Structures are given as structure tokens and as C-alpha cells.
Amino acid sequence: MILLGIETSCDETAASLVADGRRILRSAVASQMNVHRAFRGVVPELASRAHAERINTVIEAALRGYSWKDVDGIGVTRGPGLVGCLLIGATTAQVLGRLRQVPVIGVNHLEGHLVAAQLEHRSLRPPFLGLIVSGGHTELHVYEKAGRYRRLGGTRDDAAGEAFDKIAYQLGLPFPGGPAIDRAARGGNPSTVAFPRAWMPGTWDFSFSGLKTSVINYLKGAGARRAATRDLAASVQEAIVDVLVTKTLNAAEEAGMRRVVVGGGVAANSRLRKAFVERAVPRRIRVYLPDRSFCTDNAAMVAAAAYHRLRSKTPLEKRLIVDPGLSLQSWKTA
Ligand code: KG4
Ligand code: ZN
């Protein structure tokens, strides 16, 4: 079964053709980084316009070498995300679905991030513990089987990616801050400043806003004597990674899971990837990470999530309604 995935929830216009939920035939992404860089954040109105301008070209690129006869359905992100952006994808998908007489499957973006690792690790099957770490989310879920999730916890304030982005700004690094800190931290000493870790004991929740405040206070206090940017970047990165890895592996053990799947833009972080593998091995837990290009927003993960939904035969919603605040729900209760 070949599905076309469409993703427009934030600042990447993406389309992809995926066979049987695991094999990527084509993938096209048009990044809007140049549109938003000067504003150091995604400007919703500009993002919707950019999606509208690019979506047709991106879908054509994803279909190159194939024809609509090959396409059995369309998966499209219906939330969470920026409402104007979601509407561009959803409207396009619905028009194409009608025109080509194929089903349109509304997909939860977070579910996409959780199944992205299966594009790389094709034999990976649930149950597993899933960590979603992106610009808007930091959440731990037990993925019991396709469409059945149990939420363990999530951030109470900033998402991990948001923390990277905001702290990078304080350090004078470019937007987006995650990749900038990742690059700047290379060769830096992560023990230079012992930035605080919010452990949130007794819960599987996270909190990263205190770290941001602590960096601001450090920079004010240190003035001209501040440590080198690479050492600060490495110290900040270590503080975020330490909490994410420690809590996720502890949660996996407590939930009796030997497999952990990580997804979302922050899963592209090189220190996070290394730390997960290093620290999981002695605990006999296997960590699955998507290829870096499928950590950040993409449409292959949307097509994959749509495939699992279609295969499950769980009835699809009667109407495709976008929901900017959509949470990861089990399909039965959706
Ligand atoms: O999943 P994503 O593309 O969009 C959302 O759904 O939010 O994630 C974007 C986030 C941004 O905050 C970005 O700074 C972060 O992922 N990110 C990284 C890295 N690459 C992207 N954070 C840390 N290290 C990276 N290498
Ligand atoms: Zn995302």
C-alpha cells in the first residue's frame, strides 16, 4: 500500500511517498528557515503563506517517477500545530482526495514523530517507550500497540527544543538554536558550568524554564569573565540531555520496556544520540532513533502513521478537522 504524506504543521512544507508504512519511495521538504530566521522564531502568518506557495511543487516532487494510480491514500497532519498552516495541508489533501478518489487520513503529528524510527528500523514493533522531543513538545508515552498510548508525563513549561532555541539566543547563537548549540558545543567542556537539572521527582514530567533563567543569571553575573561559548553550549546541552536520557531510561525500566524510541527535532542532537546509546547499553535497553533527516518535521512519518491507522481498520473521523492543540490520544477514544 502506497500512501502520500503531507506535513504543514509548522515551518516545513513536506510531502512523501511511503510504501507499507516503512519504505520511503520519495521525500521532499521545503524548509522555511530563510523566511523566519530574521525573526528568530516561526511567524505563523508568514508560515501559512509559504506553505500555500510551496505545497504544490513539493507534492509534485514527491510524486516524481510515480503517478496518482500508484497512490492508495493520503495522510495529512491535522494537529497539533499552527492552525493556518494545518489548514493549508488539510485543504490540499481533501481536494486531492476528492479529485483522485482516495481516502484522506488525518494524522496526529506526535504519532508521526513516534513512528519515524520505524522508517529506519523496519523490524521495530511496539510495545515500546516513546520520547517525543521537539520544538513544541517533550512527552513520554508508552506505545502499547498501533493507536494505543499511555501518557506518562511531559513538560510543564518549555519544550526541550524551545529551551535550546531560547538559550541559543542568550548565547548569541543563530536560529534555530538546537542545531546551533549542537555545533557550537563540539569540542566544548560540558562540565564548565553545572547548570541545574529539574528532576521533578515522583513524576515523569519535565521542566526546562529554570535552566533558561539560570543561563540568563549566569551571563549577567559573569559579565566579561563568561566562559567560552563552546563550553557554555556544551554545559547547557549536557544539562538538557542528562535529564532527557536519565528520566526516559528510568521510565522505560519502571514500565518494563526494553525498547525506547525517540523522535522529534531534538532527537537529531548529536550528544543526545550518543548519550542514549551509551547509557542504555549497560541497562540492556535498546534505543531506536530515526535518521537525522527524519527527526525534524517530514512527511514520511505522516504517511507511516496514516498507514498504521488505515491498516488497523479503526474508523476514520467523518470529517477532517484540524486541531492546533491535538494531544496524542488512543484511536479508540479519538
Ligand atoms: O520536530 P521539529 O522539527 O518541529 C516541531 O514539531 O517542533 O523540531 C524542531 C526543534 C527546534 O526547537 C530545533 O531547535 C530542535 O528541534 N532541533 C535540535 C537539533 N535539530 C533540531 N535541537 C538540538 N539539537 C539538534 N541537532
Ligand atoms: Zn515536529
Each residue's pLDDT tens digit, 7-27: 999 999 999 999 999 999 999
| pLDDT at 334 (0 to 100) | 60
Ion ligand 2: residue ranges with CB closer than 5 A: 134, 297
Nearest CA-CA partner of 327 in 111, 92, 152: 111
C-alpha 231 to ligand 1 mean position (Å): 21
State the helix-helix crossing angle for 229-254 and 209-222, rounded to 10 degrees. 160
Q: What nine digits make up the cell of 289?
A: 532513533
**101: exposed, middle or buried (Cβ count in 10 Å: 0-12, 13-18, 19+):** exposed
| pLDDT at 120 (0 to 100) | 93
C-alpha 246 to ligand 2 mean position (Å): 22
Residues 6+ apart with CB under 8 A from 157: 207, 208, 209
Name the 3-class secondary structure at 197: coil
Pocket of ligand 1 (CB under 6 A): 10, 134-136, 161-162, 164-165, 176-179, 182, 264-266, 268-269, 296-297
| pLDDT at 318 (0 to 100) | 83
List 5's β-bridge partners, or say none.
16, 75
Q: How far apart are the first and last CA of the chain?
A: 24
Q: Contact 7/77 with Cβ under 8 angstroms?
A: yes
Name the 3-class secondary structure at 219: helix
DSSP secondary structure of 161-177 = HHHHHHHHHHTTPPSSH
Residues 6+ apart with CB under 8 A from 301: 5, 7, 112, 113, 115, 116, 119, 263, 290, 294
In this structure, the residue with its CA closest to atom 8 of ligand 1 is: 265
C-alpha 132/C-alpha 243 separation (Å) is 14
Q: What nine digits make up the cell of 172?
A: 548569541
C-alpha 113/C-alpha 98 separation (Å) is 27
* Sheet containing 2-7: order of strands: 23-31, 12-19, 2-7, 73-79, 104-108
C-alpha 110 to ligand 2 mean position (Å): 7
Q: Which residues of the chain fall short of a pLDDT of 70?
A: 333-334
